[in-house]
Amino acid sequence: MHGWEIEPIVLLGYSFGAAQAANFLASNKPENVQAFISVSMLAQKFIRPKMDVYKFIGGITVPMLDIYAEEDLDDVRRGIDDRRLAANKNSNTGFQQIELQGSGHHYLGFEDILVEQIQIWLQSMAPVMDETAEISEISPEILHERQ
């Protein structure tokens, strides 16, 4: 990403990918990642050793957006308060939770609203991440051109 001069770098994970991304951020603390967006974070119960997503969240120091759906999976919804408490334990003042009303875990029919909420949050976080950061849309075509 740095080679392509894409900044700021924001990590986004969905479902189990969000749990893995949280683990990566908490374990590695990469300096170039300036924010994290978790969409319907889900730790698979059958994974051994068990993933402690709350410990991961507690180790994240960059601003974090935790999005979940009103009709999300039970495991995602059960963790709403615990995710917030884990972030607060670490004094992550950049932590925010958003519930997408009417949506389910796959956000079908709510894709535009999901993207809009993410863009609004990114715009609000731009001054925190980097005073010169400009958040803009990057199309897949641009990424392919840069490879």
pLDDT, tens digit (0-9, with 9 covering 90-100), for 4-47: 777 778 999 999 999 999 999 999 988 889 999 999 999 777 67
69: left (phi over 0), alpha (psi -120 to 50) or beta: beta
- Answer whether residue 2 is part of any domain: no
- Answer whether residue 55 is part of any domain: yes
Entry pTM:
0.82
Residue in the block written with tokens 């119960």: 45
Across the range 70-97, mean pLDDT stands at: 92
Q: Which domain holds residue 36?
A: 9-146
- Answer whether residue 48 is part of any domain: yes
Task: Give the CATH number for residue 48.
Answer: 3.40.50.1820
The tokens describing 2, both together, are 């740095």
- Answer whether residue 36 is part of any domain: yes
